[in-house]
A and B are shown apart, each in its own frame.
Chain A
Amino acid sequence: AQSVTQLGSHVSVSEGALVLLRCNYSSSVPPYLFWYVQYPNQGLQLLLKYTTGATLVKGINGFEAEFKKSETSFHLTKPSAHMSDAAEYFCAVSRMEYGNKLVFGAGTILRVKS
């Protein structure tokens, strides 16, 4: 079975500060890992994904994440927060890159203070 734990249901940062959203996963097979962002009353938008190869993955809007197998982690970072980053972020794991269900964490709401 696969599962995802997101530490911190709410994270608050100042504009321009580092964003760090934590994600740990459990998987009995090599995982495919995803970060999604959800704005109010909208669907999920893919930020980035890890499939195979390079463990540091760069995504849209300046976000990146590093796959650390030894720590079973896939934390999301952004060097400098922008007001428009305020949203809810979900980490997810799957057995395949596509065509297989995603198992999501409970989400982290990011607040950006001016």
Chain B
Amino acid sequence: GAGVSQSPRYKVAKRGQDVALRCDPISGHVSLFWYQQALGQGPEFLTYFQNEAQLDKSGLPSDRFFAERPEGSVSTLKIQRTQQEDSAVYLCASSGTNYGYTFGSGTRLTVV
């Protein structure tokens, strides 16, 4: 596609519910990143994929957070048993060889 596509754009979850956020990167982009942006803060790194390999997951805040990219293209960020502190905008970015980062518009997650 022409850009990085994220869905849904908005998600309201009840506390304790599981959610899945999708990122469709630019075709051919090898690298894919997930960031969490809390209200009034800068984005913070969550995890990084190179193709289907998850090379860095040091930013995932707890074992309730899980990300996958099974075929090296679309990625899903899953949050289990959501808590209020998980409320944030989740940004996905992709980059390819010799290209910088392109960010998606994000998914705004609100946990009530």
List chain A positions with a Cβ less than 8 A from chain B. 4, 36, 41-46, 49, 90, 92, 97-99, 101-107
Contact = CB atoms under 8 A, between A and B. Distances in A.
Contacts of B101: 46, 98, 102
B91 A106 contact: no
Contacts of A46: 100-101
Nearest to A43: B103
B31 interface: yes
A42 B107 CA distance: 10
A97 B100 contact: yes
Interface of B: 4, 30-31, 33, 35, 40-45, 48, 50, 56, 59, 91, 93, 95-101, 103-106, 108
Contacts, number: 59
B25 to A, nearest CB: 13
B45 A43 contact: no
Nearest to A97: B100
A45 B95 CA distance: 13
A44 B48 contact: no
Contacts of B50: 99
A102 B41 CA distance: 14
Contacts of B99: 98
The 4 residue pairs across chains A and B that have the minimum distance between CB atoms: A104-B42, A43-B103, A98-B95, A44-B103
B106 A43 contact: yes
Contact of A101 (B4, B48, B98, B105): B48
B11 to A, nearest CB: 14
B4 A99 contact: no
